[in-house]
Structure 1
Amino acid sequence: MEKKLNSTNSFESFAMKVSKAAGSTAAFSVAFIVIIGWAILGPFFNFSAGWQLFINTTTTIVTFLMVFLIQKAQNKDSLAIQLKLNELVASHEYASNRLVDIEELTEEEMKIIQKYYARLSRLSQKEESLLRSHSIDEAQDLQLFKEEMREERDEKIEKSKRQKSPQQKTTSSKVNTNRT
């Protein structure tokens, strides 16, 4: 069992190294030079079928193998990112733990959650502070609370204006009588 783990780890290591190397400037340069060299050698081989077969076979084999190596590296990277995100979600006090392991849901289930986030985005656009964040679970309750608080504030302001209004009338009538 130990030997199998090591061979898997060495394959993962190999896949990661090849994936990084394939995406480098040096790899592009080598591929470009090979293509230019192949094109330059064409007249020397009279543009023969063997000359064409060489580049076709080489690129097909390299492409075929690279698909699997890059996919292996991508799977590992994706898993690492998901684990890191799960840790962040699980450790944050206000985050919804329902999002941990969300990648295991079906696409339909993810679309439902995406609709919640679209609604959350609309709710947060009403938020005055750009730094305030919400989770799915608290967003609607918090928005209702804010609306209630704003209504109470507006009612107090309106009440204050009504109370000041009669005082202003009496004050202005006193000013008017003093002027005459």
Structure 2
Amino acid sequence: MSPGKQFTEFASNVARGAGKPVTFALSIGVILIWAVTGPLFHYSDTWQLTINTGTTIVTFLMVFLIQNTQNRDGAAIQAKLDELIRVSAAQNRYIGIESLTEEELDELRRRCASRATAEPCETIDAAEAAEQRADAKARDAARRAGGMPHYPA
């Protein structure tokens, strides 16, 4: 297994484990044990440094592992959305827009918002036409795949 694959698997497992209730409970347990041992160590600087160092190291490492997991999840979701756009009646020009600048995305949002506020009848008619085209595509694809007999639309 490649180092990249190993890291991906490790990061996924750690992120999954970190989000479980038992992990949270264990963290609370560690803090309670640390707090209870305060009088034993006379609340010394070393006693305080122990929890500070431990939590800092865990936080530092978790940031990278969780960011790796979120980056992969985001890329996977984007790929799925791109594929849905590609095979639907939606506009293919939206594929890959995650690489646009903030200004370009703002302009795209403004255009989408202005189309969304078009006359209600126009919007409904456009949506119905897109749905009919998508249905026809799906029927044709199923017919070509042998999945259903030919029925007139």
| TM-score tier after normalising by the smaller chain length | 0.7 to 0.9
**2:37 aligned with 1:27:** no
Larger Rg: 1
CA RMSD between the two structures: 2.1
Query: Deviation digits for residues 29-88 of structure 1, max 9, x if unmatched?
Result: 010111111101101110011100000000000000000000000000000000000000
Structure 2 unaligned segments of length 5 or more: list them.
131-153
Task: Give the 5 Å matches for 1:1-180.
Answer: 6-92=2-88, 94-123=89-118, 126-127=120-121, 129=124, 132=127
TM-score, normalising length from structure 2?
A: 0.78
Which structure's relative contact order is higher, taking Cα pairs within 8 Å and 6+ residues apart? 2
Q: Which structure features the higher share of helix residues?
A: 1
Query: Deviation digits for residues 112-167 of structure 1, max 9, x if unmatched?
Result: 1100111122126x1385993688xxxxxxxxxxxxxxxxxxxxxxxxxxxxxxxx
Count of residue pairs the alignment pairs up: 129
TM-score, normalising length from structure 1?
A: 0.67
Runs of at least 4 residues off by over 4 Å? 128-131
Structure 1 unaligned segments of length 5 or more: list them.
136-180
